[in-house]
A = this chain, B = another copy of it.
């Protein structure tokens, strides 16, 4: 604990994802006091045809 889920459009590189989990873990540890080894991160990717704002999918823009 804590458990962090980051949901974003697909397309980030492996290097970006690697840096993302490292920096988010640091930020959560510093501000909540949880030790890093207790922090879990899940990345969830979505495609543009499954994500919509104002009734329009990003694949239809």
Contact = CB atoms under 8 A, between A and B. Distances in A.
A18 to B, nearest CB: 6
A40 B20 contact: no
A28 B7 CA distance: 11
Nearest to A44: B50
Interface residues of A, number: 50
This protein's copies in its complex: 6
Interface string A39-52: 11111111001111
B30 A41 contact: no
A46 to B, nearest CB: 6
Interface of A: 1-9, 12, 14, 16-28, 30-34, 36-37, 39-46, 49-57, 59-60
